[in-house]
Structure 1
Amino acid sequence: MSKIKVLVVDDSAVIRQLVKEILERDPAIEVVAVASDAYFAERKLKVHAPDVITLDVEMPGMDGISFLEKIMHSNPTPVVMLSSYTDRRAAETFKALEFGAVDFVTKPKANIGEGIEALAEELIAKVKAASKANIRKTQPKLVAAPAHSVDEVVARKRFTGSKHGDGVIVLGASTGGTVAISDLLVLLPKDSPGIVIVQHMPEQFTKAYADRINGLVDLDVREAKNGDRVRRGAVLIAPGGRHMLLQKDIQGYYVQIKDGPPVNRHKPSVDVLFRSAANSAGHEAIGIILTGMGNDGAKGMRELKDAGAFNIAQSKETCVVFGMPRVAIELGGVDKIASIEEIPRLLAGRDRRAS
């Protein structure tokens, strides 16, 4: 079986070497070349024809965003961005995803120390996923982790709620999801049922992501805080590094933000959100699972269906990575398979709002 060929592009020699050493821990990956800037990278891209490129956002001369835009037009190749966190870098990272990057990781520090194992696991997994990504859909219009059960964060209960409550939409996504979520939300009316979202993303980036989407859509989008109410026309995005649960009291739905072990290697976890929605919303919920690697959310979607929810999975043809939706379909938790453009019609047909 041929190895995944990777080109590492970064202006820091220390980071280039660190990324190379991390990736070559995995026998399925070979770093075929490194480059210090976009001009050297362009030449090495032609010579080595890599399967995946890791690309620094900020470089001298032609920056990473400009180089990404150029190669996506001339020689589309899966790209994983490396980004340091600042407000400006976060905005540039989301712009890169819109321009065609498959995913991103927070750029490692030279003295990363104890965080090296978590970084290695994330980087290797994302490069492997990128090598299989459907990059045509992203162009603008592993090391084993400790296994933690969703039961450690939220116990499973039987839904005993009302029969005529206002609906709630729970949505999960991973690789490719930042763009897919934006593409979906821009199509929804401003009086849509409340939407609660888990998108796998580092904690420093989720607020910037929510703020960016908020400026693009008719809905009120923000990073969730503990106790936030779920209401029509509003979208709550789980903060990175914390789990988000859907709860219900006499006033309606609200979110609980809590700590806990990573579930399916992720915090926030889609399975945690979906399990909590099955417990608290049952048939009043609509579950949506979008593009992403792995299986997070698949079991939770089955639990949602068993509780009476209506569930939608993004179609293979429109996913960047058909991982999470595929497993959810295989487990029998999905009622409809649809493209992003088809989902709003399905949601409109399920809206329980009184006319």
Structure 2
Amino acid sequence: MNGPNGILVVASDPLLRKVVTETITPLIGDTEVLAVSQTRATPDRLAGAEIVVLAARDNDFQSLGNVFELSKTCGRPLLLITAGESTEGRTVAAQLKIPSGLLVSIPELDIRSELKAASSRIESALRQARVDRPRPAPPPVAPRPVQTRISPEPAKPRPPEDIGGVPYLGTVICIGSSTGGTDALMTVLSGLDKDCPPVVIVQHMPKDYVEDFANRLNQSCTIDVMLAYDSQPLRPGLAVVAPGDRQFRLRKGNKGIWTALGESERIGGHCPAVDVMMKSAAQELGKKSVGVILTGMGRDGAEGLLEMRSAGARTLAQDEASSVVYGMPKVAFEEKAADTVLPLQKIAGWISGVTLTLPK
């Protein structure tokens, strides 16, 4: 590193350290970027950097404790990048008096693509850090509150029974995914026709990023994709993604099928849980539903998919070779919840085929 003109990336996780460095390097011109582990983040290195970039996954905060303490007095601007669902990053940012603009959080799903998507935020944070330098040792004042982006809550619509027009009472496609699911969902949804049956999705993801993810899908797919809201009527050609902080269910009445957002408590370790969505589909829709489990860690969705199959629904699990993590699909297969197993690239075609024989 060339004196105070370099950027120092500190991360205990080797992959995160590498990908953060690769993301930052093209954003800062000729400035050198040096990446080190927490054991090599010496006081001299921290104090000699133009900007210190601290990067952590959910499980890394304890191992970086010493670096956080040294960072308090290094006198350099700090940028904190976190990957995962934990809120510990906000706590650390407050302790280190890092402004909200210098805290960048991404889901721990596909770190490389998520960091690429966040590159504009990272570039803005680096510019802000350069404006802030040199930063003296923090004065003994109360931490600035960390500002969290909150999407405006859409106005609650009239109950579906009161909405005019022909109600939709046909088939609904239910998809659950976790690790690796962002890319998998893009592949599946982009392969569906604009008049396909409605799609409901639970993707394990921090709540602050679900709406942005839904917008990205909407821009890339023929069908309409949006963040789900409570009492939202379903229609052909529409996919809705469950919010990241409410349990998500389906409800059916004489005049339509709609969404129901419920409690915020985790069920099976997740909120929303794929199991909750799929069990509601089994109970409300029975054979007028299709269940799909994509790549992901753990076993969420297997019980719900089995209930769907028992109720007469067609069910599918992604195969091992095309899964980023063969956890959720594996359990679904082993517990005989899936009547079909296919690679990712064939799933959209399968959905289109089976729904042709089901009521729309």
Contact 2:171 2:359 in 1 (8 A): no
Q: Deviations over 1:41-90 (max 9, x none)?
A: 3x77xxx9xxxxxxxxxx969999xxxxxxxxxxxxxx9699xxxxxxxx
Q: Tell me: CA distance 1:35–1:315, structure 2 relative to 1, closer, same or farther (3 Å).
A: closer
Distance in 2 between residues matched to 1:305 and 1:234, nearest whole Å:
23
Partner of 2:90: 109
Q: Tell me the amino acid that sits aligned with residue 34 of structure 2.
A: F
Partner of 1:292: 296
Quick check: which has more Rg, 1 or 2? 2
Partner of 1:175: 179
Q: Tell me the amino acid that sits aligned with residue 196 of structure 1.
A: V
Partner of 1:332: 336
Q: Deviations over 1:135-154 (max 9, x none)?
A: 9999x9xxxxxxxxxxxxxx
Partner of 1:309: 313
1:238 aligns with 2:242: yes
Distance in 2 between residues matched to 1:245 and 1:292, nearest whole Å:
20
Aligned pair partner of 2:275 in 256, 271, 274: 271
Aligned pair partner of 1:198 in 199, 202, 226: 202
Structure 1 spans left out of the alignment, 5+ residues: 1-9, 21-30, 49-58, 65-78, 83-102, 114-125, 141-163
Q: Deviations over 1:75-133 (max 9, x none)?
A: xxxx9699xxxxxxxxxxxxxxxxxxxx74467124479xxxxxxxxxxxx98xx8xx9
Structural mapping, 1:80-119, within 5 Å: 104-105=84-85, 108-111=89-92
Distance in 2 between residues matched to 1:231 and 1:105, nearest whole Å:
31
Distance in 2 between residues matched to 1:316 and 1:326, nearest whole Å:
7
Distance in 2 between residues matched to 1:33 and 1:195, nearest whole Å:
34
Q: Tell me the amino acid that sits aligned with residue 181 of structure 1.
A: L
Give SS of 1:215's match. Answer: helix
Aligned pair partner of 1:40 in 34, 38, 52: 34
Contact 1:137 1:319 in 2 (8 A): no
Distance in 1 between residues matched to 2:184 and 2:222, nearest whole Å:
16
Q: Tell me the amino acid that sits aligned with residue 324 of structure 1.
A: M
Give the drift of 1:349: 2.0
TM-score by length of 2: 0.59
The percent of aligned pairs where both chains have the same amino acid is: 31
Q: Tell me the amino acid that sits aligned with residue 185 of structure 1.
A: L
Give the drift of 1:203: 1.1
Give SS of 2:267's match. Answer: coil
Give SS of 2:345's match. Answer: coil
Q: Tell me: CA distance 1:167–1:111, structure 2 relative to 1, closer, same or farther (3 Å).
A: same
Distance in 2 between residues matched to 1:191 and 1:342, nearest whole Å:
19
Distance in 2 between residues matched to 1:182 and 1:112, nearest whole Å:
33
Distance in 2 between residues matched to 1:80 and 1:317, nearest whole Å:
26
Contact 1:241 1:267 in 2 (8 A): yes
1:346 aligns with 2:350: yes
Partner of 1:256: 260
Aligned pair partner of 2:223 in 214, 219, 227: 219
Distance in 2 between residues matched to 1:33 and 1:222, nearest whole Å:
32
Contact 1:305 1:334 in 2 (8 A): yes
Contact 2:181 2:296 in 1 (8 A): yes
Q: Deviations over 1:147-178 (max 9, x none)?
A: xxxxxxxxxxxxxxxxx952110010000001
Contact 1:137 1:318 in 2 (8 A): no
Give SS of 1:341's match. Answer: helix
Structural mapping, 1:1-20, within 5 Å: none
Q: Deviations over 1:280-333 (max 9, x none)?
A: 011010000000000000111111111111001111000000000000111111
Give SS of 1:327's match. Answer: helix
Give the drift of 1:341: 1.5
Contact 1:137 1:320 in 2 (8 A): no
Contact 1:278 1:304 in 2 (8 A): yes
Q: Tell me: CA distance 1:354–1:266, structure 2 relative to 1, closer, same or farther (3 Å).
A: closer
Q: Deviations over 1:3-24 (max 9, x none)?
A: xxxxxxx9687xx5xxx6xxxx
Give SS of 2:252's match. Answer: strand
Distance in 1 between residues matched to 2:112 and 2:202, nearest whole Å:
24
Contact 1:313 1:336 in 2 (8 A): yes
Structural mapping, 1:23-102, within 5 Å: 38=21, 39-41=33-35
Q: Tell me the amino acid that sits aligned with residue 171 of structure 1.
A: I
Structure 2 spans left out of the alignment, 5+ residues: 1-6, 22-32, 41-49, 60-82, 95-106, 117-167
Q: Tell me: CA distance 1:196–1:11, structure 2 relative to 1, closer, same or farther (3 Å).
A: farther
Distance in 2 between residues matched to 1:185 and 1:220, nearest whole Å:
10
